[in-house]
Chain A
Amino acid sequence: MITLLLAGILALLAPLAVLGAAGRARAVWGGVAVLSALLAMLAVAALAQGGAAPLLLPFGPPWAPLSLAADGLSAWFLLLLGVAGLLGGLAGWGWGDVAPRRLMLWPLLLGSMAFTVLAADAFGLLLGFALAGFAAHALLSAEGGWRDRPETGWRDLLATLLSVAALAVAVGLMTGLTGDLSFAGLRAVPPEGAQAASVLLLVLLAAGARAVLPLLAPLPPGPTLVLVGGGMPALALYVLARLLLDVSGPAQPLWWGAPLVVGGALAALSGALRALREVELGRLLSGVALHHLGLAVVALGVVAGFRAADLGALAAVAGGAALLHLLAQILFLALLWLAAAEVAHNAGSRQLDRLGGLVHPMPVVAYAALAGVAAAALVPAMSGFAGGWLLLQSLFAAWRVGVLGFQILVVLTVAVLGVAIATLASALLRFWGLTFLGRPRTPRTLGAQEAAPLPRGILVALAVLAVVLGLLPGPLLRLAEPALLLLTGHGGAPDLGLLSVSPGPAAADYTPLAVGLLLAVVLGIVGAAMRQASPRAHATVPLWDDGFIAPPAHFPFGDPATQPGAASLATAMRPPLPAMPRWPWPQAARWAATLPRWRFSLPGGGAARRALRLCLGTVAALLVLLAWLGSGGL
């Protein structure tokens, strides 16, 4: 019944595309929002039932009958897509402008993404993935995502083609000679040996390209980014989870999860550093999105490791971390993107160095964005923290796998994630502080106004969700239990109370409601006590500008150069790491072009070099220690 309804909604998206082609913007956005909400509600219903029966579609090639099914994993990711579509549709209603060629692509993209997630066989998955990839590329092109750098557009198209091809080969390898493309059939014969390695490599390639590229596209924050940036990474992770963990998960060796852990940790770190480096809101937030995607991928990698070691209960902890974090990040990223869109619209710039002081003209947007920043920076009791906490706990427990190589990998991952999480907190603080605090840096900022009622309502609702979701990780995880079952191949969620989550009976637990309550009570008592002790209201005086010379008359708020700038804050906040290489593919192209003149040089000052030397020295010491202990020294 549920599957039939879902198929009906997918069919309804087609006339919506026709409406879009006719330029009926309100109808498209309203329709997308309503249908996405229905998708999300049906997904919740399917999760509550523990999955819905498959439905054979009346069309499709004779050798691969297409079928739809909403099992646990599909339903959870369908919920994510529904949320992204709902927010995108609402945001489009509130913010979007009208252009028929873009409007047509909205229902197409949403429909193809939902079809990918709902497909019950590998051919349907491949078909939907290809359609979604091309629709996303077309939408990004129509939005002018490649306006500044056309070559990125070609790269994106090339990556889409390659990822579809890679996925096709991977599916072919997994099917083998049996020709049975249904997930159940594939699950019965998981790939082994070199075949498994090729499948891992190809799926990683396909999913990685589709997950990361929309985030790196220089698209201005807005409704389109909410749909594409929220939906496509979730879709890519679905492909990853379905093909690598659910279908070929049984009987895989321990190293199966290692590429995911390494790639996720590096993505998290490079995303955080990107967010700290960039001075433009869209690029900065894309770094934030990359960071959170990386955290979810690490969690999936840890699931694979635990599955290989037959530690089902711990695999469920890591799986719960991934699922919870994906839901939370779609919501708080949408909040940040929409707040950035509001800032760009009202203050006329997306450059951090041309904003400032916006908390005065637009307080609701500012404080809603602050809630999003707190959730994204993993502040306790906000929505980002529960997933991050579960991820860290599963990493802490990963030594139980019992293979030294994997253990050392996990320790290094914890260290890298620590650096990444702290760096991201700095980056988000810099984003919020420079945008909303301080004095206006340009006269244009003064003309900013509070958002219109509908966008304001959406932002406030998302801010409330960032708090509420953070307080209730237990019920959400219980809802996700059918998905966890498929992801981990093991019955049972992490140790759940209604209010707390815990990785095990003896381990520590996290009770967000109690932590939030403690903070609120302490805050109230401190406030009341200070009111008694020091009742005088504060006085407002002109700013003491640290003795800079008086600004000229055309700077009514003082010289902007006397305020902290985006680049100077980034330099001071950066942890003293050796400089990261930039994103590898342009670098690879540059290498190929300048190979004879290429030489290795470490950018940055002496401190970075020394830090690197220290790192290398310790690694060497570790290796010596390992060799000594390995030879029976202890």
Chain B
Amino acid sequence: MTLPLGLFAQLLHLVLVLLAALLLPGLLDSARARFQGRHGPHPLQPALDWLALLRKQPVVAESASGISSIAPYLGFAAMLAAVLLAPGFAHGMALSSLTDLVVLAGLLALARAARALAALDAGTATGGLAAAGGMGLAGLTLPTLLLAAMGFSILTGTTGADGIAQSLRESVPAFRVPLGLLALALLAVALAETGRLPAGDPAAEALGDGGDDSVPEASGRHLALWRMQSALRLVFWLSLLVGLFAPFGMAGAASGALGWLLALLLWPVKLLLLTLALAVAEARLARLRAARLAELLTAALLLALLGVVWLFLSAGVA
């Protein structure tokens, strides 16, 4: 893809993911409510909440340092960079050479660390709990992500998300067991990382107003940034899953105007379908105990392990 076209595609991708981040969380909440037989909030409610939060003055504790004011921006920027690098509707966008899965894992870790630092900043008990909970999960999600990267690198010869999507799209469309195992593993990781598998003590959640706020002390635009970051995280994982496991219909340098139009229509549809599936799952599944969540993630890790070993055995690379 030529540079101007790549830049254009990248900017379009940016607009699309921002739109998705604006719409998907509200859509998810309202769809889940509908599946549970409730009326539920308006799909635009999260976006309206952000606007309201932006108008409010942030309040910072006396014991807090500059971290409370810097970390929201850093976390949001790291997550936005990760979303920019996630596979989108087209191949070969301007930043496609940076889309390495290990770098993406690093950017996610940076966003997570920023969140935990902000939670620890004021020095409250709830902040410590939130920070520890967020970091503890990574011990089981990072190895799964790395194993998935290894599996893709064996299959396609690269760990770049763009290159993986491209070569999987061009290969013969057939169900492959290792890919299925990796998809299951990454799905579990995505659910855990986006906080879509509520875990822990249900009574604890009743104390907080939002329930998903990973930085209890944040308010005003800081809180808005953290919430937007969590929306972006949802979009990141959805588009990563879609891009890696369902890359059909993506636009490339060779596809004409019709191909681009089709890709531009297909990508939101894929994201929407995954969101609806997520809403059904959330509405139907009971909440997990914290120990169960750890078990689920361990199982995901072992599935990924099995997938990679299967690759050795079946692809004739052994």
Measured CA separation A629–B312 after assembly (Å): 11
A564 interface residue per 8 A CB criterion: yes
Separation in Å of the A401 CB from the closest CB of chain B?
10
25 contacts between A and B (CB under 8 A): A379-B109, A392-B102, A396-B150, A404-B312, A418-B144, A418-B146, A421-B142, A422-B141, A429-B113, A507-B159, A508-B101, A508-B163, A515-B103, A518-B95, A530-B225, A539-B60, A540-B62, A541-B59, A544-B124, A563-B123, A564-B129, A564-B132, A575-B136, A576-B139, A611-B294
Size category of the A interface is 35 or more
A552 interface residue per 8 A CB criterion: no
Closest residue of B by beta carbon distance from A426: B135
A533 interface residue per 8 A CB criterion: yes
A527 interface residue per 8 A CB criterion: yes
Contacts A429-B117, A523-B73, A564-B132 given; 5 further ones with Cβ under 8 A?
Answer: A412-B305, A417-B143, A507-B153, A543-B123, A621-B306
- Top 10 A-B pairs, shortest CB-CB distance: A564-B128, A575-B139, A418-B143, A438-B123, A572-B132, A508-B160, A380-B106, A433-B120, A523-B77, A534-B221
Q: List A contacts of B291 (CB < 8 A).
A: 576, 605-607, 610
Closest residue of B by beta carbon distance from A628: B313
Measured CA separation A419–B294 after assembly (Å): 13
Measured CA separation A438–B61 after assembly (Å): 10
Q: List A contacts of B135 (CB < 8 A).
A: 425-426, 429, 573
Separation in Å of the B304 CB from the closest CB of chain A?
8
Measured CA separation A60–B314 after assembly (Å): 59
The residue that A526 contacts in the complex, of B54, B69, B76, with Cβ under 8 A, is B76
Q: Which residues of A does B touch, CB under 8 Å?
A: 356-357, 359-360, 374, 377-380, 385, 389, 392-393, 395-397, 399-400, 402-404, 407-408, 411-412, 414-419, 421-423, 425-426, 429, 432-434, 436-439, 504, 506-511, 514-515, 518-519, 522-523, 526-527, 530, 533-534, 536-546, 548, 557, 562-565, 568-569, 572-577, 605-607, 610-611, 614-615, 618, 621-622, 625-626, 629, 634
Q: List A contacts of B224 (CB < 8 A).
A: 534
Measured CA separation A523–B220 after assembly (Å): 19
CB pair B136–A615 under 8 Å, yes or no, is: no
CB pair B84–A378 under 8 Å, yes or no, is: no
Q: List A contacts of B199 (CB < 8 A).
A: none
CB pair B98–A518 under 8 Å, yes or no, is: yes
CB pair A618–B305 under 8 Å, yes or no, is: yes
Measured CA separation A432–B71 after assembly (Å): 14
The residue that B138 contacts in the complex, of A422, A509, A622, with Cβ under 8 A, is A422
Q: List A contacts of B98 (CB < 8 A).
A: 511, 514-515, 518
**Segment at the A interface, from B27-35, B36-44, B264-272, B295-303:** B295-303
Separation in Å of the B52 CB from the closest CB of chain A?
11
Measured CA separation A360–B63 after assembly (Å): 9
Q: List B contacts of A534 (CB < 8 A).
A: 54-55, 220-221, 224
CB pair B295–A610 under 8 Å, yes or no, is: yes
Q: List A contacts of B138 (CB < 8 A).
A: 422, 425-426
B279 interface residue per 8 A CB criterion: no
The residues in B between 216 and 237 inclusive whose CB is less than 8 angstroms from any CB of A are: 220-222, 224-225
The residue that A397 contacts in the complex, of B113, B153, B295, B299, with Cβ under 8 A, is B153
Separation in Å of the B54 CB from the closest CB of chain A?
4
CB pair B317–A399 under 8 Å, yes or no, is: yes
Measured CA separation A542–B217 after assembly (Å): 12
Separation in Å of the B83 CB from the closest CB of chain A?
10
Interface code B206-250, partner A: CB below 8 Å = 1, 0 otherwise? 000000000000001110110000000000000000000000000
Measured CA separation A356–B122 after assembly (Å): 10
Q: List A contacts of B301 (CB < 8 A).
A: 415
Separation in Å of the A204 CB from the closest CB of chain B?
26
Q: List B contacts of A425 (CB < 8 A).
A: 109, 113, 135, 138
The residue that B61 contacts in the complex, of A404, A522, A544, with Cβ under 8 A, is A544
Measured CA separation A563–B136 after assembly (Å): 18
Closest residue of B by beta carbon distance from A621: B306
Most buried by B among A432, A509, A514: A509
B202 interface residue per 8 A CB criterion: no
CB pair A542–B140 under 8 Å, yes or no, is: no
B145 interface residue per 8 A CB criterion: yes
CB pair A508–B158 under 8 Å, yes or no, is: yes
The residue that A538 contacts in the complex, of B65, B158, B220, with Cβ under 8 A, is B220
CB pair A523–B139 under 8 Å, yes or no, is: no
CB pair B308–A411 under 8 Å, yes or no, is: yes
B154 interface residue per 8 A CB criterion: yes
Q: List B contacts of A562 (CB < 8 A).
A: 124-125
The residue that A539 contacts in the complex, of B59, B76, B113, with Cβ under 8 A, is B59
CB pair B62–A377 under 8 Å, yes or no, is: no
Separation in Å of the B159 CB from the closest CB of chain A?
5
Q: List A contacts of B61 (CB < 8 A).
A: 540-544
Separation in Å of the A49 CB from the closest CB of chain B?
34
A543-B55 contact given A414-B150, A437-B65, A508-B100, CB 8 Å threshold: no
